[in-house]
C-alpha cells in the first residue's frame, strides 16, 4: 500500500517517468523513508493509471513515459495521510531485533556491538546535520523543505540511538560485574 502513496507524493514535485522515480528512490528517499526498484515501480504506475490516480504527462525518446498526479490521486494521498495508521501490531525492525538479541553475546562482544552502534549513529546524525544545513541554504525555508524535515527527524532518531547505546554499555558492564549477564553463561540458560 505504501508504495503507491510514495509515488503519488513524488509526482507532486513534477511529472516523472518510472526511471526518474527509481533514481529518486535509490538516491534520496530510499535512505530516509522508503525504497523501491524499477521492477516494482513500472507495474505500480500501470495500476495507478488504470485507477485514474495518475495520468500520462508526456512521452519522450526511448519510450519514456512521464506521469503526473491527478486531482483524484492527490485526494487519495491526502486521505491516506490524514488517516492515522491503525498499526499497534507487528513491528518489524531489524535494528531493534539485534538489540533485543544482544544478551546472546558475552558481555565483551555485546559492548563491542554497542560501541559500533554508537559510532554509526553518531556518524549518521552528523551526516544528516550537514545535509540539513545544505537544504536550508538551498531552499531558503526554515525547515529545509520536505527533505529537511525528514532529515531532522532522522537526526533526532540517530542521536537518541547513540545516547541509548552509551547508557546500555554502562548497564551491560554493571550486570556483567554482578554475574547477571545472560550471554556469559550460555550453559545454564
Partner DNA sequence: GATAACATGTAAGAGGTTACATGATTTC
Partner DNA sequence: GAAATCATGTAACCTCTTACATGTTATC
- Measured from the CB atom, the residue of 62 and 88 that comes closer to its own copies is 88
Grid coordinates representing 183 are 550471554
43-51, 52-60, 87-95, 126-134 -> range binding its own copies (CB under 8 A): 87-95
**Shortest Cβ distance from residue 130 to its own copies (Å)?**
17
- Confirm or reject binding of residue 115 to its own copies (CB under 8 A): no
- Confirm or reject binding of residue 54 to its own copies (CB under 8 A): no
Task: Measure CA 26 to chain center.
Answer: 12
**Shortest Cβ distance from residue 53 to DNA (Å)?**
14
Grid coordinates representing 49 are 493509471
* Separation in Å, CA 127 to CA 28, 139, 142, 151: 14, 18, 19, 10
* Separation in Å, CA 159 to CA 129, 156, 178: 11, 5, 29
- Measured from the CB atom, the residue of 64 and 116 that comes closer to its own copies is 116
What whole-number distance in Å separates Cα of residue 32 and Cα of residue 55? Answer: 27
**Shortest Cβ distance from residue 62 to its own copies (Å)?**
26
Residue 39's binding partner out of DNA, its own copies, none, with CB under 5 to 8 Å set by partner kind: DNA
Amino acid at each position: 500500500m505504501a508504495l503507491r502513496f510514495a509515488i503519488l507524493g513524488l509526482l507532486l514535485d513534477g511529472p516523472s517517468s518510472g526511471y526518474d522515480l527509481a533514481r529518486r528512490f535509490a538516491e534520496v528517499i530510499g535512505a530516509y523513508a522508503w525504497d523501491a526498484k524499477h521492477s516494482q515501480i513500472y507495474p505500480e504506475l500501470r495500476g495507478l493509471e488504470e485507477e485514474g490516480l495518475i495520468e500520462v504527462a508526456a512521452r519522450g525518446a526511448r519510450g519514456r513515459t512521464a506521469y503526473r498526479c491527478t486531482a483524484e490521486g492527490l485526494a487519495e494521498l491526502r486521505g491516506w495521510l490524514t488517516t492515522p495508521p491503525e498499526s499497534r501490531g507487528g513491528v518489524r525492525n531489524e535494528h531493534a531485533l539485534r538489540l533485543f538479541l544482544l544478551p546472546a553475546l558475552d558481555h565483551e562482544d555485546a559492548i563491542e556491538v554497542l560501541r559500533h552502534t554508537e559510532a554509526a549513529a553518531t556518524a549518521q546524525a552528523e551526516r544528516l546535520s550537514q545535509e540539513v544545513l545544505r537544504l536550508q541554504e538551498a531552499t531558503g525555508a526554515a525547515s529545509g523543505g520536505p527533505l529537511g524535515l525528514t532529515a531532522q527527524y532522522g537526526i533526532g532518531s540517530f542521536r537518541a540511538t547513540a545516547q541509548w547505546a552509551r547508557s546500555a554499555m554502562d548497564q551491560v558492564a554493571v550486570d556483567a560485574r554482578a554475574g547477571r549477564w545472560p550471554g556469559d553463561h550460555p550453559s545454564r540458560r
